[in-house]
Amino acid sequence: MNYSGTSSLLVKSQTASNDVTKRQRDAEPKRYVCSVCDKRFPGKRALNDHSLNHAGDKLYQCPQCEKVFVNLQYLKRHMNIHRGKFKCSECGKSFRGGADLRRHIRIHSGEKPFECNVCRKRFTGNGDLTIHSRIHSGAKPFICHVCQKAFRHSCSLATHMRVHTGDKPYKCHVCDKCFGNSSTLQKHKRTVHSNIRRYYCPYCGKLFHLLSGMQSHVRVHTGAKYYSCGHCSECFTWYSQLKSHLLKSHDEGTWFTCHICPKKFSLKDHLKVHIRRHECVKPYVCCDCQKRFCTRGELKLHQTVHSNFKLFCCGLCGKDFKRKYIVRVHFQRCLDKR
């Protein structure tokens, strides 16, 4: 594919974006503030268009996917996806507009024209660079008007607001469970309703639904410790270990205490699972025998009883196993033979 036309446009953008603090657009004050989510806009018209999102009057419906929009302009842009007006010739994905398509093409070409002037990390889009620059500046301009929690990105604030409103617009078509954002729904589909595990550990062959899960697991083999304590020289492989260390050694943070027994946890999710065991709550049900389990991991392990599906693979010889501890023993034997 020829990217020469795209490259000429990107050179100009790169020159103008090396220092995000000096960009005129970023320097312009955004005087008009949304009273619902505190998002700011440079003009009254932009604010009025945004306010329609909170009104709930979504009158324009897409005839092909039944998605609804607050105004006709948004619907027309959305229809470009179905019509294939802005379509990537590499992967066939369609977009709402030319700017979205040009940004996407950089994924295939490998172009990252926007560079951070602090750490020299490069990005495909100027918006990504602007958000990244807030890591160095510490700026969190988007503030929740309910709990005053601050965010670097307006989308993060919009998603957070659903915590207060209880809105869960994304529904799983398999189990009817609802979620606050689309990424959580997609993760739910892959981990709960699909046995496809595309990512495997290069050291032991363990399979994972998510790339992030595999990358996190690899630390077990490499011993990488990304989390360092700000009070002492201790470093940790997992964030949960750092949080527990801060609580025990430096009295920083909050313990989550069980209301039934005196046991304490550094993470709220661990407390939730613990309380389920007290109350005998088992929300995960096997579709084959209706047996119930406290955690998703226990259910997945049980489901191997009903099928020949083997979750774990030896990274040295390729042999598959149903149980994690068996593949660990086998993997060690393979290493000893070498």
The arithmetic mean of pLDDT across residues 67-74, rounded, is 77
| 3-class secondary structure, 172 | coil
47-63: pLDDT as tens digits: 777 776 666 555 678 88
> How many beta carbons lie within 10 A of that of residue 191, not counting itself?
15
Q: Say which residues have a Cβ less than 8 Å from residue 310's Cβ, sequence separation at least 6.
A: 304, 320, 321, 322
| 3-class secondary structure, 94 | strand
177-192: pLDDT as tens digits: 788 777 788 777 776 6
Report the predicted TM-score, pTM, of the whole model to 2 decimal places: 0.41
CATH number of 282-338: 3.30.160.60
* Domains 4-165 and 282-338 belong to one CATH topology: yes
Q: Which fold has domain 4-165?
A: Double Stranded RNA Binding Domain (3.30.160)
Check if the beta carbon of residue 282 is closer than 8 Å to that of residue 276: yes
pLDDT value, residue 309? 52
Across the chain, mean pLDDT equals 76
Closest-CA residue to 64 (of 86, 85, 82): 82
Check if the beta carbon of residue 145 is closer than 8 Å to that of residue 127: no
> How many beta carbons lie within 10 A of that of residue 245, not counting itself?
20
Domain ranges of the chain: 4-165, 282-338
